[in-house]
């Protein structure tokens, strides 16, 4: 099918004979599935405004095979029967675009699935046929990375600023970053109306000539480190023979570049080989081969000594467009003393080009090249373009110019540098053995020895430690112990480990008023943990138990009777109650649902309040028995006993003052009432007869059968009854205790509490080492049960490295919520003593000093990264904010923005040196 013309006016009507919505959904779903099976570079996708697309989805109905969109991004909900108008992309197209070319620009701040969606070409053609409208915004599918390629849609092609040297006018051209340099020459010459053989295009980064760009069919804009809004310079050569300027012979052979600027020094400050005019022959590191690397690095070592008098290490990194996350991480790494010492020497013998898990040594060479520039350029800011190009090649997730996580980049760099510097050329196959109750020292040594047999590098020597992991099966009690290496420690903030939950406890034997209790439990804990915390809070007796239930719209939605059910299934806005019952064998469950006439003036009966639950022990059951239990549960609500203390000690649904309210209950209510049929009148109304009417109902509360005193109830494990209230009961009982049910979590209360507290680094470490159950998505396969179990996990530190990195987990992500914690974490700068946390008893102290911090300011998506780093030689701290570097006092480096902390162990004796050698 031919793509319809893009010049359709927005107000064009839809097709005269629209097909049914179900048929539209079926066709689109099939086309989407078909396109997912035929991914290849060059496929076209189209950008559609999510405002229009979400309306269409609501019209046809969402299905699992369709695209997922954020419905909240639409400007209103429409009835399912409303057919949307023509496709309208006007809200995502940027105004005043001066790009030369046929493609329209869209706003750069847009988010996929929130502001726009991407549909395959076939889907766009169908939607355009059905609805008309537009304009069309085609985008190509490109491949990124090396080895196992990743496909992505290039929503934002590169915009390059072309400065014409003839009149200094500036034009903008748009190309894919996968376009070749020949395509760039062709487009620029077409826009400027010049002959290609007379054109010379320069890399004009920061408005200064860097290198002449060669019209090549093999080098892409991405290879040449072209970035968004990159400046290039167009010059026209006087000589009509373009080969003398472009480096390309008329018949296509590549020649050496002819100097077009005054000759420069032949020494490359970056440690890479150069030509006589000072320009490198390419953007990559493919020139680092054989002895050229060694000679270059040797020259660099001599050159480095020249700059030592200018206090190296104070150069900033230019922001290439939302690359502050990268600059922050790099400044921390290039100020790590062992890495500085290593990369300022000749490290060519350490490069492992044949490691299939590495990057042919190119990442290590790019990092070393950048480190040398930073330590030899004095205070001149460096543009890390070459490094950014390598990063995009080997880690496509960091390509483009969006903000990313500095800790994720650090993790990739440490692992990538390790593999590029791995001294092990052939990794042996090693089968891991179970601990089998062997001594920890023996198992730990064996695990570390096996690890070193496959992993041996500078990163392992300096940055890797070992921790002990203990898993316990909750069913059979199987214990599995492993010793695993780590590169950094991701420490949760205590507020991210525990969860504050408010649950109302009902005393089903009539011994007390319903009481809300606020407890702290593990966020990924289970119902058993919640019951234990509630039992401690309400002083549960040894012969009692708690039955948890989720209440929704005054009905019990479900009982939480599985002790291993994860608490993550309970949302903060829900109402959870606990019924305090006598422990023992399984009995008949009685559930009482409250009803009253609407507005107490007759009419349909309306459900209100919280249901009451207890266990019946009599068998068989009569209506009189059920009345007895109902009056027993309602006894604490009698106004004669509770009017003087109604809601005392409660504020916004939370207890203020512990269990004082509970202890204030009169002695007559402190023991369960043993009500019988003969004494029921004494506990009924003041007239001697209860006006409550009970009716038997089913699970869905649809049926209603009145219960008389002599009625025989059919035996069942679950009996549900209606309790009809009248105005008389409202006068005798305080029903507010049934109505005012607090939610599981109240945001205002917890935020007010956490803002008054500061968290220490030690409390974060202890939270990391706390035993907790695995999440439901991280089940452990028990070798004894032969099934996946939600085991409990306990981590212990076994040995610590020379360079210890702490990652503070300030960001939390879930399907429904993204959050950042700005909690202040108090961390030591000097003498961080972790000796007591290390389980390996070898008598060595583990004391550390801080030397670098990666900071994150602001919220999600729009934040900013900076770094603090200490120059060990002069014992001073500096603030690295992209290209700006300034001194800072030690007292200023502590803030709530601290995100990743870098520590160096005091002393030179490494715990693992002997085992490594």
Helices (H), 308-427: 324-334, 337-343, 362-376, 385-394, 406-420
**Predicted confidence (pLDDT) per residue in 789-848, tens digit:** 878 889 999 999 999 999 999 887 654 446 778 888 999 999 999 999 998 877 788 999
pLDDT score for 4? 36
pLDDT exceeds 70 at position 2: no
Is the pLDDT reported for residue 94 higher than 90?
no
Whether the model pTM is above 0.75: no
Per-residue pLDDT for 267 more than 80?
no
pLDDT at residue 270 is higher than 90: no
What integer pLDDT is reported at residue 310 of this predicted model? 55
Among 84-98, 384-398, 405-419, 531-545, the range scoring the smallest mean pLDDT is: 84-98
Output the pLDDT for position 321. Answer: 80
pLDDT, residue 495, reads 67
CA distance 128 to 131: 5
Number of H helices, E strands in the chain: 25, 44
Burial of 763 (0-12, 13-18, 19+ CB in 10 A): middle
Q: State the pLDDT at residue 904.
A: 96
**Residue 134 predicted with pLDDT over 60:** yes
Q: What are the tokens at 702?
A: 């649809």
Position 551 scores a pLDDT of 85
The answer to whether 78 is a known catalytic residue is: no
654-680: pLDDT as tens digits = 333 333 333 333 333 333 333 333 333
The pLDDT of residue 292 is above 60: no
Determine which one of 78, 641, 647, 864 is catalytic. Answer: 864
Please report the pLDDT score of residue 586 as a whole number.
61
Q: Which residue has the higher pLDDT, 568 or 674?
A: 568
Rounded Cα distance, 823 and 895, in Å:
9
Confidence tier at 525 by pLDDT (50, 70, 90): confident
Range 878-887 average pLDDT: 94
Which two structure tokens, joined as six digits, stand for 239?
Answer: 């000589």
Catalytic residue, candidates 159, 324, 332, 526: 324
Q: Which residue has the higher pLDDT, 435 or 10?
A: 435
> Quick one: pLDDT at residue 881?
94
DSSP state of 82: P
Instruction: Check whether 750 has a pLDDT greater than 80.
Output: no
Query: CA 785, CA 779: separation in Å to the nearest integer?
Result: 13
What mean pLDDT comes out for the span 877-895? 94
- The C-alpha atoms of residue 887 and residue 201 are separated, in whole angstroms, by 40
User: How confident is the model over 872-897, as a mean pLDDT?
Assistant: 92
Average pLDDT over residues 379-390: 88
By CB neighbour count within 10 A (0-12 exposed, 13-18 middle, 19+ buried), where does 710 fall? Answer: exposed
More confident call, 337 vs 14: 337
Length of the chain, in residues: 917
* pLDDT: which is higher, 413 or 434: 413
pLDDT at 183: 87
Per-residue pLDDT, averaged over 21-27, amounts to: 88
Residue 167: which residues within 8 A CB-CB, separation 6 or more?
none
Q: Which of 128-142, 343-357, 722-736, 813-827 has the lowest mean pLDDT?
A: 813-827
**Structure-token pair, residue 781:** 């396969």
Better pLDDT: 729 or 77: 729
**Given the structure tokens 């509360």, which residue do they identify?**
701
Give the C-alpha separation, 234 to 171, whole Å: 11
Query: How high is the pLDDT of residue 855?
Result: 95
Whether the per-residue pLDDT at 148 is higher than 90: the answer is: no
Enter the tokens of residue 646. 């109604």
Portion of the chain with pLDDT greater than 90, in percent: 21
* Model confidence band, residue 652 (pLDDT cutoffs 50, 70, 90): very low
Q: Which residues contact 251 (CB under 8 A, 6 or more apart)?
A: none
User: In the prediction, which pLDDT does 619 show?
Assistant: 66
Residue 60 has pLDDT above 60, yes or no: yes
Comparing CA positions, the residue from 521, 603, 591 lying closest to residue 557 is 591
User: How many whole angstroms separate alpha carbon 557 and alpha carbon 813?
Assistant: 27
Task: Tell me what pLDDT residue 676 has.
Answer: 35
Instruction: Name the average pLDDT for the chain.
Output: 75
pLDDT score at 620:
62
53-61 contact pairs (CB < 8 A, 24+) = 53/117, 53/119, 55/82, 55/84, 56/84, 56/127, 56/131, 58/82, 59/21, 59/83, 59/84, 60/21, 60/22, 60/24, 60/25, 60/28, 61/21, 61/22, 61/25
Given this model, what pLDDT does residue 146 score? 63
- Residue 306's pLDDT is 35
From the list 899, 876, 900, the residue with the least C-alpha distance to 888 is 876
Which tens digit of pLDDT belongs to each residue from 529-538? 888 888 888 8
pLDDT above 70 covers a percentage of the chain that reads 75
Does 324 qualify as catalytic in the annotation?
yes
Which token pair is 543?
């012969």
- Model confidence at 417, in pLDDT bands (50, 70, 90)? very high
Q: How much is the average pLDDT of 356-370? A: 91
Q: What is the pLDDT of residues 600-650, one digit of tens each?
A: 544 567 888 888 888 877 666 777 778 888 888 888 887 754 343 434 433
**Predicted local distance difference test score (pLDDT) of residue 914:** 35
DSSP 542-576: TTEEEEEEEEETTEEEEEE--TT-BGGGS-TTSEE
- pLDDT of 65 reads 52
Range of weakest confidence among 241-250, 362-371, 896-905 = 241-250
What's the rounded mean pLDDT across residues 745-755? 46
């Amino acid at each position: 099918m031919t793509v319809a013309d893009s010049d359709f006016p927005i107000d064009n009507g839809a097709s005269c004979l629209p097909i049914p919505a179900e048929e539209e959904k079926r066709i689109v779903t099939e086309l989407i599935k078909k396109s997912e099976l035929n991914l290849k570079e060059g496929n076209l996708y189209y950008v559609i405004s999510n405002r229009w697309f979400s309306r269409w989805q609501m019209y046809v109905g969402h299905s699992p095979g369709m695209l997922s969109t954020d419905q909240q991004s639409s400007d209103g909900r429409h009835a399912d029967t409303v057919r949307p108008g023509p496709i309208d992309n006007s809200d995502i197209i940027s105004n005043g675009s001066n790009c030369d070319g046929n493609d329209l620009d869209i706003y750069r701040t847009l988010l996929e699935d929130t502001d726009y969606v991407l549909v395959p070409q076939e889907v766009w053609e169908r939607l355009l046929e059905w609805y008309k409208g537009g304009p069309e915004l085609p985008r190509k599918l490109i491949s990124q990375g090396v080895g196992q390629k990743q496909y992505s849609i290039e929503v934002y092609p590169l915009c390059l600023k072309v400065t014409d040297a003839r009149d200094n006018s500036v034009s903008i051209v748009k190309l894919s970053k996968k376009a070749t340099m020949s395509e760039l020459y062709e487009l620029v010459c077409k826009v400027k109306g010049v002959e290609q053989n007379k054109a010379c295009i320069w890399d004009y980064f920061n408005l200064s000539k860097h290198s002449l760009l060669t019209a090549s069919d093999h080098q892409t804009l991405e290879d040449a480190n072209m970035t968004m809004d990159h400046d290039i310079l167009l010059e026209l050569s006087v000589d009509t023979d373009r080969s003398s300027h472009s480096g390309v012979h008329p018949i296509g052979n590549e020649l050496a570049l002819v100097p077009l600027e005054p000759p420069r020094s032949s020494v490359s400050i970056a440690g890479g080989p150069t030509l006589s005019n000072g320009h490198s022959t390419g953007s990559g590191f493919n020139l680092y081969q054989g002895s050229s690397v060694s000679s270059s690095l040797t020259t660099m070592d001599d050159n480095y000594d020249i700059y030592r008098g200018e206090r190296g290490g104070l150069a900033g990194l230019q922001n290439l467009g939302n690359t502050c996350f990268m600059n922050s991480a790099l400044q921390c790494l290039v100020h790590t003393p062992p890495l500085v010492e290593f990369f300022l020497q000749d490290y060519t013998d350490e490069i492992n080009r044949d490691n299939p898990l590495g990057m042919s040594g190119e990442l290590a060479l790019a990092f070393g090249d950048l480190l040398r520039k930073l330590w030899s350029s004095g205070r001149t800011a460096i543009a890390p373009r070459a490094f950014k190009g390598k990063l995009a090649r080997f880690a496509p997730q960091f390509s483009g110019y969006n903000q990313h996580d500095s800790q994720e980049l650090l993790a990739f760099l440490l692992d990538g540098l390790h593999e590029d510097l791995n001294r092990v050329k052939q990794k042996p196959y090693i089968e891991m053995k179970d601990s089998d109750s062997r001594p920890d020292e023996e198992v730990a040594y064996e695990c570390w020895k096996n690890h070193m047999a496959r992993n041996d590098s500078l990163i392992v020597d300096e940055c890797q430690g070992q921790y002990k992991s203990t898993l316990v099966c909750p069913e059979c009690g199987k214990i599995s112990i492993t010793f695993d290496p780590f590169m950094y420690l991701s420490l949760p903030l205590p507020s991210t480990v525990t969860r504050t939950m408010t649950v109302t406890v009902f005393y089903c034997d009539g011994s007390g008023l319903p009481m809300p209790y606020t407890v702290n439990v593990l966020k990924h804990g289970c119902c058993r943990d919640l019951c234990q915390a509630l039992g401690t809070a309400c002083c549960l007796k040894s012969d009692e138990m708690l039955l948890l239930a989720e209440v929704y719209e005054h009905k019990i939605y479900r009982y939480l009777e599985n002790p291993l059910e994860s608490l993550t299934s309970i949302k903060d806005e829900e109402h959870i109650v606990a019924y305090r019952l006598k422990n023992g064998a399984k009995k008949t469950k009685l559930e009482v649902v409250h009803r009253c006439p609407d507005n107490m003036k007759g009419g349909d009966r309306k459900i209100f309040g919280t249901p009451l639950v207890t266990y019946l022990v009599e068998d068989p059951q009569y209506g009189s028995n059920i009345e007895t239990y109902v009056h027993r549960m309602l006894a604490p609500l009698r106004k004669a006993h509770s009017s003087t203390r109604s809601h005392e000690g409660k504020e916004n649904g939370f207890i203020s003052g512990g269990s004082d309210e509970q202890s204030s209950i009169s002695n007559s209510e402190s023991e369960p009432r043993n009500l019988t049929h003969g004494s029921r009148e004494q506990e009924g109304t003041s007239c001697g007869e209860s006006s409550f009417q009970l009716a038997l109902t089913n699970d869905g509360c649809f049926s209603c059968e009145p219960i008389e005193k002599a009625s025989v109830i059919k035996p069942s494990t679950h009996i549900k009854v209606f309790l009809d209230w009248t105005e008389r009961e409202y006068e005798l009982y305080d029903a507010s205790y049934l109505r005012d049910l607090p939610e599981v979590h109240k945001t205002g209360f917890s935020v007010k509490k956490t803002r008054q507290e500061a968290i220490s680094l030690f409390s974060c470490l202890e939270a990391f080492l706390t035993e907790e159950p695995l999440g439901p998505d991280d089940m452990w396969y028990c070798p004894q049960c032969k099934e996946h179990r939600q085991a409990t996990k306990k981590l212990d530190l076994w040995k610590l490295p020379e360079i210890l990195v702490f990652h503070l987990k300030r960001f939390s992500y879930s399907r429904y919520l993204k959050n950042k914690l700005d909690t202040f974490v108090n961390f030591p700068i000097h003498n961080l003593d972790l000796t007591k946390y290390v389980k390996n008893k070898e008598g060595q102290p583990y004391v550390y000093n801080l030397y670098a911090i990666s900071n994150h300011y602001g919220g999600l998506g729009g934040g900013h990264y900076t770094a603090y780093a200490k120059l060990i030689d002069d014992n001073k701290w500096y603030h690295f904010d992209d290209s700006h570097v300034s001194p800072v006092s030690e007292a200023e480096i502590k803030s709530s923005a601290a995100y990743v902390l870098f520590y160096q162990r005091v002393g030179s004796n490494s715990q693992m040196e002997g085992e490594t050698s």
